[in-house]
Amino acid sequence: MKYNYKIPTCKEIKDFLKKDLKKNWKVYYTVTVTALTILFLIISIQSFRVTKQTQKRNHFLQQENRVLHDSINILVYQLDRVNNITKYVSPPKLVKNHTSAKNSKIEYIKEYKEVSILAYLETYFETGKDILPSVSLAQGIHESNSGNSKLAKTSKNHFGIKCFSTKCSKGHCTNYNDDHHKDFFRCYKHPIDSYYAHSNFLLKPRYKKIFPKDKTDYKSQIFEIKEAGYATDKKYVTKVSKIVEDFNLDQFDDVVNFTDAEKRKIQQELKVLVAEQKTNGLQD
């Protein structure tokens, strides 16, 4: 079957539309308005969605920037803490009107402050116990007369740690007069070793009460150390506590409140520093 289809001319189309519009203009008008309305609504909805997405994206970026800013501030704060803990904040200066004994204590603090902090950290990570750097440092000053006692100079023993072994090898201990006749005291190659030995000594069962609830309460720790039999001097607690207070040694106890990550960082840095001191022969 063949279809005779004739393509209308433009004039024919135009005439048809004019004729049809006259009859159905209301329908065309309604359809056109409806189509335009729908188009407007589609454009409005899309615009609203884009605006909402942009607002969400901007809000997210603002939050991300805020978090990043806070993280940077926290990191800077933590780095400041890590850097400051290894410094002796506002150390007393050596001046002419100071007594030689006081100057000697200041020099001792400058020399052994890192060692006392490292000894604390080593003990903390091995046992979880807090032997405060301020206590170790103050005891070292008191027991060794700021490193000037005979025992400290000849045996590098800064804490009066005695030897009770009956099978000592040569150089393990030495005879020295203390509270009793012919007491034997440990000998060390370096004073640094004496600090580590001091920490280990305080981990003995007899000293189990030296760890106070307030981990930075140096007075309680000194008191319990004395009560456990470390010293016989009745004024021992007062003397050692006074050294802590006179030289603000409790500032080194801030390390106790650091996070384990911060403590690890300090430990690594101090290990390098103390190893160099040991190699160079600390207090030859």
pLDDT tens, residue by residue, 17-40: 666 655 666 666 676 778 788 888
Contact 255, 215 (CB under 8 A): no
Predicted confidence at residue 283, as pLDDT, reads 46
Bigger pLDDT: 276 or 283? 276
Predicted confidence at residue 222, as pLDDT, reads 94
Helices (H), 145-217: 150-155, 191-201
E strand map for the chain: 173-176, 183-186
Predicted confidence at residue 12, as pLDDT, reads 66
Place of tokens 């911060």: 262
CA–CA distance, 83 with 89 (Å, rounded to integer): 11
Output the CA torsion 264→215→193→117 (10° steps).
50
CA–CA distance, 160 with 123 (Å, rounded to integer): 20
| Residue 162 DSSP symbol | B
C-alpha angle 156-158-162 in degrees, rounded to nearest 5: 90
CA–CA distance, 229 with 204 (Å, rounded to integer): 12
What CATH class is the domain 96-160+190-280? mainly alpha
Domain segments of the chain as ranges = 10-85, 96-160+190-280
Does 108 have pLDDT greater than 70? yes
Residue 157 CB neighbour total at 10 angstroms: 28
Which residue type, as a one-letter code, is found at position 282?
L
Which run of H or of E encompasses 225? helix 218-227
Task: Using pLDDT thresholds of 50, 70 and 90, give the confidence band for residue 90.
Answer: very low
Beta strands 173-176 and 183-186, pairing class: antiparallel
Evaluated on CA atoms 159, 164, 166, 167, the torsion sign reads negative
pTM: 0.63
